[in-house]
Structures are given as structure tokens and as C-alpha cells.
Amino acid sequence: MSNPAPTKHEFQAEVKQVLDIVIHSLYTDREIFVRELVSNAADALEKMRHTQLTENDVFDASKPLEINITTDETAGTLTISDTGIGMTRDELVENLGTIAHSGSKAFAAALKNAGKGGEAQLIGQFGVGFYSAFMVAAEVKVYTHSWRNEGEHLCWVSDGAGSYTIDEAPGQSRGSRIVIELKEDAKEFAKTSRLREILSRYSNFVSFPILLNGDRVNTVEALWLKSKEDISEEQYEEFYKFASHSFDKPTYRLHFQSEVPLSINALLFLPSENMELLGMGQMEPGVALYCKKVLIDPHPHKLLPEWMRFVRGVIDSEDLPLNISRESMQDSALVRKLGDVVAKRLLKFLDKESLEDAEKYRAFYQKFSRFLKEGVATDFDNRNAVAKLLRFQSSLTEGDEAISLPDYVGRMKEGQETIYYQVAPSRSSIESGPYVEGFKARGIEVLYLYEAIDEYVVSSLREFDGKQLQAVNSDQVDIGEDATDGEALSESDATALCEWMKEKLSSEVASVRVGKRLVSSPALALTPMGEMTPQMRQMLRAMNKDEVDAVKVILEINPRHEIVRKLAAQRETNPEAAQLIASQVLDNALLSAGLLDDPQRMVARTQEIMQALLSKL
């Protein structure tokens, strides 16, 4: 058999970009590359442990699962080897040549958003995974053999400058051996003492033996099983960073043990950075499931509710059968119970924290409210507890102050039975519209919801604390008698005007009625189907064409408004002008309601109105 020549490969463009920054940016915290490589070795070993449970045909089956680190001060090299799953040729290309499977994905995503100059700072906030080796390496070699018997003996080599080669390298044992030829200014990492110091911080969180130049450096330690008094802040933080591959500091930490109704040891962290906001796509659940210190599943989907996927940490329960598999845990009632207990505990904890330190909670909320809103919409069991954690601005808040639903309910007016809200993009778009003025005049608070997803949140929630939630632009709103005085149309004049307007505007208007919630606007538009959103209405329109009452609006007019009163007076004596004004009143109302599909049509009419006005000057 002839030995094929080494093959040369270009790094994917995004990888080149990442490498360029990794290599050329001054960076003070270079030692994190050790953590990255040790965590990769631990991941590969963990995968191996799992593979061994199901596969009989394994290369080097008798090798113990461990990590060996050796330093050579004379040669200026550092070697990190593991007996994990190793890589095939294709896997080398895919895993070390592209960003698709790499911890640097978040970094690459953030890079896209970061302006020039901001790039170097990103390294401290995100992991660059395997590529971090190039902060200290003049050259990196990865020797490997896959756990698969048919795998090749390979060596991957690169100086990080744009390409790498893959060559055959006979004699490899199972796993990966990463040899780093250190740069001139990074020779410190070939010193045993320096490595020992770096490893001391997190090696105990690795559940496989780590040997440094032959000496064991770690005792496998399950931090979550220790009592709180014996754990320092630094240890917690290191654990968070190591166990969840994170670079930020956790905002909140919840560490608890309980015996009833289940034996639980849980150590949970809420991060300070939301990776999904960076356009990273949906993240994997981050709370691992253990049974008596043995990892069952690093990313269990059916443990905590899906929306809690941003939570990191560990749940360990002695009550789980040790031989539970990832597959069977998916539908285990015990696992569900376990997740349920922990989720409720976490929600209670967050509620307490949010009240004790509102500022801190606000910073957290800014980044993570999306998850909470998803929780209200999808987590039926915990809906109310999650809803308590939401924060909104309102007609009574100032600046960026925001209140909770319990706050709102606590200051409802006497006799008020309903929680009112409006969904619109901003405070100004709500306050310049006609809907809240009647509420303001009566001193009734209205919540301002600025995100499109809020529509979904309120329609899932429906009520809070026994109080119905209602949009101020719903046709069901009843806020009692008129709150303002001043000259108004008589009842019969008003009725006649309504009938006339209904006739003139019949293609768009289902009915016209006198409204009680208007103060300074002449009219407002309501959709007859309660809280139908403009989007839903547009869909209906598209399906039914026009002429369907469901898509027509209810027009409420203000009998005290001067335009309305004059319109009533002029409709018989001056029918043409009255028609123009009536149409414009409708379009203004539709515009405020976000229901005007074709604003163009106003142009011709406003010109006519201007001409009429000018001819009177």
C-alpha cells in the first residue's frame, strides 16, 4: 500500500477571521487556552464513556479514560492527550477547519456585530474553543485515531495562518494528542509549575483523571454535593465557567439540597450574557443531569421546561436509577417530577431576588425577558409564576421604570376588575393614539407592551390574579360613563350622525357608535373580533377578499369633539365637504389603530381638503 501524500486544506473564511484576531490581538488572559483544550479532552472522554456502553467494536478498548499533560521546557512544547473518541479524517476537516462544530460559533457571531476595534475585546467574553491554542502556538499538531477500528492514524498540522494539512501518522493510539509548539513569548506554558497552577482552578471539576508529567493533579469533586459554607465565590465562578463553557460571570446562583419530595442536589446559574440574542440560534438546555455524581445527560431536553434552556448548572438526584439511559429518561415520570420541583424552586428564587434587588433584576431582565415571555406562552404549569417576573412600562411609569403584574393589581382603582394594556412599538405611538386618553382621564393605569411577542404573551396568559387582561383597543372595553364634560351632540343628533356615517363609509365600517372613552380625539377604530391584531386582520383580508364584516371596523365617535359636532351640523347643508371629512376621520382612526392598509389613498383627499381650506383664505 502506498502512503498518500499529505493533503492541504484551507480554513473556512470565518475560521480565518477568528484565527486572525486570536493570533494578532494582544491578549492578557492567554492561559484560558488550557481550559479550552482540557474541556475538549474531557468532552471527548465523556463521549467515549457513552460510546463504550453501546459499542462492542472499539479501537484500543482497554485504554483507561484519562487526560495526560506533558511539558517540555527544553523543546518549548506542551502536549495534551486524551483517550477519548478521537477523530476521523472527515471529522478533522469538519471540527477543526470549520466553525460549524466549534465553540467559537458565538465569537464568530459576535464578530459580525462588533464594529472595528471592538474585536479584540470579544476574546475575553467568548470562547474561541480549539482555536485559542493559536494565542500561544507557533504551530499546533493534532495526532489522532478515532474510536472506530477502521479509522486512520492521522496528524493535523497548522500554524493558524490560513491553511492546515492532514497526513498519515502511523502508530497512534485511540484519542487525540495535541502538541503545541509555543511561541517565543509563551514559553511559560512549558513550565510544570505554571501548568499546575492553571489546572488547580478547575481540574477537580473534570470527572476523569488528569496527569501532569505523570502525576495526578485532580481529585474528582462534585462541587454541588458540598455544603455552601465550604465553597468560595471563586470556586463557584470557576465551576460555572468550566462546566458551562461560559466566559461571562453568572448573574444569579441557586445552590440547594433537599430530601423531600425527592433527593435533590442542584447548583444552578443564570448567566449574564444571552447567546441567543447574538443570532446564534436556539441553545441547548444547559442544566446537566447527574445521578450520584455520574453524568446521565449533559443537555437533557425533558428535565426543565424548554424555555429555561438559558439556565446552566447541575441537578443530581440519588433517586434516579443509575442505569437510566438518555433515551429512557426522556419519558421518565421521575425525571419530570425532578425537573418540576427544581423549576418551581428556581421561579420562587427569582421572584425573591427580583424584589430584593430590583436594579440587578432589571439588568438581567433586559437580556433574558424573551425566555420569560416564552415561558408564559408555553409553560402551562408555571404560567402564573413566570408572569410575576415580567416587567412593563405603563401610563403611570416614568423613564425606563417598569412594573410587575402584582404591582399593577396592587394599585388598581377601586371597582376596577380588568388589567388594561396596549401593544404598540413605543410609548409615543401609544400616547399619540386615541386609545389611552379615556383611561388616563379616569386615572386607570394601562400597561404598555412594546414587543410583537407580547401579543402572544397576553393572549396566552388571559388573566392574572383572577383579573382579566384586556387590550384598550378591544371593542369589549367598558370603562363606565363619560369622564369629561363640555358641550356634546344630543342623543338623537349623535344617532343620526352615526347612521349617516355608517352609510357613507359602509365598505370599511361595520358600525358607528358613540364612544365613552374618547377625550381629545374625534374618533377611534376597533376591530369587532376583540383583540384581533393588524397582522391577523390582514391575513383574514387576504383570505376573504373584502366585504367581510370580520375585517371591517367599529368606529367610535366622540360626541364632544368639535369636528364631530360640526360634521353633524354640515352633513346636510354641505354634503360633499362632510363626506370628505368623514372619510378623513375614518382614515385617521385607522392609521392610529395600525389598520390603514393603503395610506396612499389619503394623499388625494388631503389635497382636496387643503384646496378647500386655501380657497377660504
Residues that bind Mg ion (CB under 5 A): 40, 103, 129
State the minimum distance, in angstroms, from the CB of residue 186 to Mg ion. Answer: 20
The 4-43 site mask, x for binding ligand ADP (CB under 6 A), equals: --------------------------------x---xx-x
State the minimum distance, in angstroms, from the CB of residue 110 to Mg ion. Answer: 17
State the minimum distance, in angstroms, from the CB of residue 253 to ligand ADP. Answer: 23
Residue entry with cell 342623543:
491
129 binds ligand ADP (CB under 6 A): yes
Q: Compare residues 140 and 578 and give the one whose CB is closer to ligand ADP.
A: 140
Q: Compare residues 103 and 433 and give the one whose CB is closer to Mg ion.
A: 103
Neighbours of 482 (CB within 10 A): 20
Position among 9, 16, 89, 101 found at the interface with ligand ADP (CB under 6 A): 101
* Contact partner, 436, from Mg ion, ligand ADP, none, Cβ < 5-8 Å per class: none
Position among 18, 69, 87, 390 found at the interface with ligand ADP (CB under 6 A): 87
Q: How far apart are CA 297 and CA 91, in angstroms?
A: 23
Can you tell me whether residue 175 is helix, strand or coil? Answer: strand
Which residue's Cβ has the minimum distance to ligand ADP?
A: 129
Position among 11, 27, 130, 202 found at the interface with ligand ADP (CB under 6 A): 130
Which parts of 144-203 interact with ligand ADP (CB under 6 A)? 176
Q: Compare residues 129 and 433 and give the one whose CB is closer to ligand ADP.
A: 129
Q: What are phi and psi of 300, to 5 degrees?
A: -70, 130
State the minimum distance, in angstroms, from the CB of residue 64 to ligand ADP. Answer: 16
Position among 68, 71, 77, 95 found at the interface with ligand ADP (CB under 6 A): 95
Per DSSP bridges, beta strands 137-145 and 77-82 are: unpaired
State the minimum distance, in angstroms, from the CB of residue 39 to Mg ion. Answer: 5
Q: Compare residues 43 and 318 and give the one whose CB is closer to ligand ADP.
A: 43
Position among 14, 31, 66, 82 found at the interface with ligand ADP (CB under 6 A): 82
Judge contact between 459 and 531, C-beta under 8 A: yes
Which long-range CB contacts under 8 A does 490-494 form with residues at least 24 apart? 493/568, 494/557, 494/559, 494/568
How far from the centroid of its chain's Cα atoms is residue 130's Cα?
25
The type of residue at 262 is: L
Neighbours of 484 (CB within 10 A): 15
Q: DSSP for 446-458? A: EEEE-SHHHHHHH
Q: Which among 52-60, 84-92, 441-449, 585-593 is the span making contact with ligand ADP, rule CB under 6 A?
A: 84-92
Q: What is the C-alpha radius of gyration for the chain, rounded to an integer number of angstroms?
A: 33
Q: How far apart are CA 567 and CA 576, in angstroms?
A: 11
Judge contact between 40 and 133, C-beta under 8 A: no
- Which residue, among 391, 399, 395, has the nearest Cα to 370 in the 3D structure? 391
Q: What are phi and psi of 562, to 5 degrees?
A: -60, -40
- Which residue, among 542, 524, 539, 541, has the nearest Cα to 585 in the 3D structure? 524
* Contact partner, 433, from Mg ion, ligand ADP, none, Cβ < 5-8 Å per class: none
114 by Cβ neighbours in 10 Å (0-12 / 13-18 / 19+) ranks as middle
580 bridge partner residues:
none
Q: Which among 5-13, 63-71, 101-109, 390-398 is the span making contact with ligand ADP, rule CB under 6 A?
A: 101-109
State the minimum distance, in angstroms, from the CB of residue 25 to ligand ADP. Answer: 17
103 binds ligand ADP (CB under 6 A): yes
Q: How far apart are CA 271 and CA 413, in angstroms?
A: 38
- Which residue, among 450, 444, 436, 350, has the nearest Cα to 400 in the 3D structure? 450
* Contact partner, 96, from ligand ADP, Mg ion, none, Cβ < 5-8 Å per class: ligand ADP
369 binds ligand ADP (CB under 6 A): no
404 binds ligand ADP (CB under 6 A): no
State the minimum distance, in angstroms, from the CB of residue 535 to Mg ion. Answer: 41
Q: In the complex, which residues of this chain contact ligand ADP (CB under 6 A)?
A: 36, 40-41, 43-44, 82, 84-87, 95-96, 101-104, 129-130, 176
